[in-house]
Structure 1
Amino acid sequence: MWSADFRWFFGATVAGQLADRFVFLALPLVAIVWLDADEFAVGVLTAMTTAGSLLIGLPAGAWLDRRRKRPVMIAADLIRAALLLLVPLAWWAGGLSIWLLYAVALGHGLLTVLFDVGYASYLPVLVGREHLVEGNAKIAAARSAVSISGPGLAGPLVGVLGAPLTVVASSAGMLLSASGLVRIRRPEPQPTAETSHHLLREVGEGLRFVLGHPLLRPMLLTEGLFSLFLVTYQTMLLVFLARAADLGATGIGVVLSLMACGGLVGALIARRVAGWIGPGPAVWLPPLVTAPAAALMPAVAIDERWLVPGVAGLMLMSLGGVVRLVAQAGLQQSVTPDGLLGRMNATVRFVQWGTMPLAGLLGGALGTTWGAPAVLVLGACGMTVASLPALFSPLRVTRTMPAATSPSTDPTAAADRT
């Protein structure tokens, strides 16, 4: 499992995720602190960051199913690195504006769609299907570890250098990610899936496969709802921590790092949880139990002594969410044939990330009208009920990892065998 190629892939993941963590904290803080943006403008910035999935999410999967994924991922890293440098350059030249942030966020998001769809489709090629659960767990652990260290590093860096210059570190992380991917030596076979070379037809094939599968369909619904309310919550979380909780950049970084500690624990125990209760229940049970704890954070606006329970609630929410993602990723990759992996991942990402622009705008609009604390309560409630589509589906009793089914195979039969 820990081959040289996987180590390079793992290192590239760490560098890229660290860069993303810096972007996640630095861009909104540029808007909030340096440009004094209001809640709605922050929501629009979130929407721009994730709008790429709506614009190219579905065709990206069909396009990637026709070609090798690693070169696309390398190119996306390099272009993102160059794009991010526009923010510190504009700040240095005195031309920084919210519109530039919108443009950079949109461009970065479009390239991230191509990278992430290729990334999820490339892992089965690199580690083999027999190591998917282990590979996903190791990658999730790396992502969670970086989520811990990233804000902890970014917060003080923002405090010392300022958010615009912190974006330079994000650009460097993208370059390191590309460097790691370049060093992988394992040949990636040219896709041999039968394709019609009609993009819309291929997109339709992917949609029909995912929506017609008794396990993929409820996961898709749960993912869409959870993402909608999670991003609504996250959109106002930074505003809440900066203004209602009166935390500076370093304090916000510490809170986000502690929150990510829950995700790291979730990644470390995900395989055991899935083995204990089954991969299907691991999709719906952990977030159903842990998401309500996210409602503790808004109480800090009433009494600052709620900060510690509020952070503990964020950690629990993150733990349950990562367990779900690890189990879900393994199931999705396991039941999907190689020739449809790109389209399956693109369809899932389209729903997962396609709800995020709406969630960003919704969080910003509701935050302007109701205030950030009320939006956090709404988000916690929504994340809790998001598990219901998976709960009331065959995932409730899916105790073992099913095999891949071709589009012509009846997926219900495969689900029944679990």
Structure 2
Amino acid sequence: MKSANFTRFWLGQTLSQFGTRTGALGLSVTAVGLLHAGSREVGVLTAASTVCYLLIGLPAGAWVDRMPKRRTLMWAALVRASAVLTVPALWLAGGLRMEALYAVAAVVGLAAVFFDVACQSYVPVLVADEDIGPANARLEATAQLSTLGGPALAGLLMRVVSAPVVMLVDAASYLASFLCLSVTKDNEQRPAPTCGDGARGRLRADIAEGLRFVRDQPVIRRLALSMGVSNFFATMVATLVPVLVMRTLGFDAFMLGLIMTCGAAGGVLGAMLAPVARRRFSAGTVMAAGLITAASCTAAGPLAAAVAPYGTAPAGAVLLVGEFGMAVGALLYNVTQVSLRQTLCPKLLLGRMNASIRFVVWGGMPVAALAAGWLGQSVGVVPTLWIGVAAGVATVLPVLTVDRIMAADTARPAARGDEAAAAVADSTGLTTLR
């Protein structure tokens, strides 16, 4: 796959991912270490960063389908950079409070809704259908690779400077992403904009069209269900990881960054393995294996607490190995399901399909974060983590029927008059072993 424009887009997305990971660590450490936030406050902080997916996730998809996707990505990058810069500014002025962190997380989350939907919808605009899978694998692999040193570097910097100052790295990465996107070119064709009194009604119709597509497309419907449940319980676990690491186990910010870096290394491996696995196994098999691996490895958190009485070294090792394995499984699943969705969906519906998926998958995250904070304070951090682990394993069930459904659809295209769909399925190898 040789495309200078995709390369520019890929570089911008990689830098953006670098900043997101660094900023997430900086925001968590600022809350827990500097402002002494507990489980409930950390839960509210996580909820603030994801609640926009629930509030505007659906109309965002319709808007993205109407707007130039590159311009949407650029504006989102600028908004995120501006919001992140307020954290060090308020800290230097002596006015940094948890309420300010909640506001920053909400604004960054708002911009992220548009950025993420536009980003996933932009890949099929830049590359041919046969290059969608490799393009997604490259994006995921390099995004993970860019974070290998990011969280660990942030942890080291926080031994020298305060956590809010590290947020400057986050802002700089968003600005660099904006510059890369500004020199990316595309030939995107969009439908004519809707104006006048019918615009609002058309927006509702567009949203409904995206939801119906997700509901009626049997494979994408199962992916949405699986991802929605999986992400809910994964968010519960992720919300309490900083509390577990820094409070329950007594590690410092550097260890938290090292754990995230180890996860990034696993993510690189998972993204690299995904195309190889798809050449040997069916999409359903790869996704099921990835989900089971990821869900099982989330048990590393409570297991680390169990071995902590025997020393900090064993507990740290369990956390690092678990995060690595979790990321391998998650990326195996994610690269495969994103490529599958992009291939099965018409290009003019990509924004609305992705937004509908995000609404289902990410809309539950603020509820999960608040639930994690409440349960962590009520029954304890470790029992709450075990709840997340047990429920996460069950999310593989909807994926188990994906291969059978795609095989049945491929076997009867003529009866449905869907020769084009059969040709796409055959050319991409999504429904058969290659």
CA offset digits 1:159-215 (Å, max 9, x no partner): 222111111111111000000000113333334699984111110011001111110
Q: Which residue of 2 aligns with 1:389?
A: 398
Say how many residue pairs are matched: 412
Aligned match of 2:39: 39
C-alpha contact 2:8 2:183 (8 A) present in aligned 1: yes
Aligned-pair CA distance for 1:249 = 1.0
Tell me, in whole angstroms, the C-alpha distance in 2 between the residues paired with 1:410 and 1:359: 40
- Out of 204, 207, 224, the position equivalent to 2:208 is 204
1:330 counterpart (330, 336, 339): 339
Match of 1:258 in 2: 262
Partner of 1:158: 158
8 A contact 1:22–1:169 mirrored in 2? yes
Cα distance in structure 2, aligned partners of 1:276 and 1:193? 44
- Deviation, 1:290, is 4.2
| Partner residue in 2 for 1:373 | 382
Deviation of 1:148 after TM superposition, in Å, equals: 2.1
C-alpha spacing 1:168/1:409, structure 2 compared with 1 (3 Å): farther
Q: CA deviation at 1:416?
A: 10
User: Partner of 1:302 in structure 2?
Assistant: 306
SS in 2 for 1:159: coil
Q: Quote the Cα distance in structure 1 between the aligned partners of 2:277 and 2:90.
A: 48
1:122: which partner in 2?
Answer: 122
What is the Cα deviation at residue 219 of structure 1? 0.2
In 1, distance between residues paired with 2:364 and 2:346? 26
Taking a change above 3 Å as real, the CA distance of residues 125 and 192 of structure 1, as seen in their structure-2 partners, is farther
Partner of 1:243: 247
Q: Is the 8 A contact 1:292 1:380 kept in 2?
A: yes
Structure 1 3/125 Cα, relative in aligned 2: closer, same or farther at 3 Å?
A: same
Question: Of 301, 319, 335, which aligns to 2:328?
Answer: 319
The alpha-carbon deviation at position 19 of structure 1 amounts to 0.7
Q: Is 2:23 aligned against 1:23?
A: yes
After superposition, residues 117-196 of structure 1 pair within 5 angstroms as: 117-191=117-191
Q: Which residue of 2 aligns with 1:75?
A: 75
CA distance in 1, matches of 2:213, 2:292: 27
Q: Kindly indicate whether the alpha-carbon contact (under 8 Å) linking 2:304 and 2:318 is maintained by their aligned counterparts in 1.
A: no
- Distance in 2 of aligned mates of 1:139 and 1:409: 35
Letter in 2 for 1:72: T
- Judged with a 3 Å threshold, the aligned counterparts in structure 2 of structure 1 residues 161 and 256 are, in CA distance, closer, same or farther, namely same
Distance 1:376 1:102, change over 3 A: same
TM-score (structure 1 length as normaliser): 0.93
Structure 1 CA distance for aligned equivalents of residues 301 and 187 of structure 2: 48
| SS of the residue 2:36 aligns to | coil
Question: Equivalent residue for 2:63?
Answer: 63
Q: Is the 8 A contact 2:291 2:396 kept in 1?
A: yes
Give the aligned partner of residue 85 of structure 1.
85
Cα deviation, 1:350-393, whole Å, max 9, x if unaligned, reads: 112111101110111111112222222222222211111122x3
User: Does the 8 Å CA contact 2:218/2:405 hold for their aligned counterparts?
Assistant: no
Deviations 1:26-55 (A, max 9, x none): 111111111111110000000000111011
Partner of 2:353: 344
Distance 1:117 1:313, change over 3 A: same
Letter of the aligned partner of 1:253 in structure 2? G
Rounded to whole Å, the distance in 2 between the matches of 1:371 and 1:224 is 25
Deviation for aligned residue 1:93 = 0.7
Q: Which residue of 2 aligns with 1:108?
A: 108
Structure-2 residue corresponding to 1:361: 370
The structure-2 alpha-carbon separation of the partners of 1:141 and 1:168, relative to structure 1 and needing over 3 Å to count, comes to same
Deviations 1:135-161 (A, max 9, x none): 000001012212322211211122222
Letter in 1 for 2:371: L
SS at match of 1:190: coil
**Could you tell which deviates more after superposition, 199-208 or 289-298?**
289-298
Higher mean C-alpha deviation, range 139-148 or range 322-331 = 139-148
d(CA) in 2 for partners of 1:160, 1:217: 48
Asked if the contact 2:262–2:320 (Cα under 8 Å) also holds between the matched residues in 1, the reply is: yes
* Contact residue 295 and residue 389 of structure 2 kept, 8 A: yes
Q: Is the 8 A contact 1:390 1:396 kept in 2?
A: no
Distance change >3 Å, CA 152–CA 97, structure 1 → 2: same
What is the CA-CA distance between 1:289 and the residue it aligns to? 3.7
* Residue 396 of structure 1: how far off its partner (Å): 5.1
Change (3 A) 1:409 1:69: farther
Q: Distance in 1 between matches of 2:63 and 2:245?
A: 40
The TM-score, its normalising length taken from structure 2, stands at 0.90
Amino acid at match of 2:238: Q
Distance between the aligned counterparts of 1:135 and 1:309, measured in 2?
A: 33
Question: Deviation string for 1:106-132 (max 9, x for gaps)?
Answer: 011011100110111111001121200
Q: Deviations along 1:51-94, whole A, 9 cap, x unmatched?
A: 11011100000111112100011011111111111111111111
Q: Which amino acid aligns with 1:247?
A: F
1:310-362 deviation digits (Å, cap 9, x = unpaired) = 32122111111111000000110001001100000101111121111011101
Larger deviation: 170-179 or 76-85?
76-85
| Aligned match of 1:270 | 274
The answer to whether the 8 A contact 2:266-2:326 is kept is yes
Distance 1:401 1:234 in 2: 37
Give secondary structure in 2 for the equivalent of 1:215. helix
Letter in 1 for 2:402: P
Structure 1 residue ranges without an equivalent (≥5): none
Amino acid at match of 2:333: R
Partner residue, 2:311: none
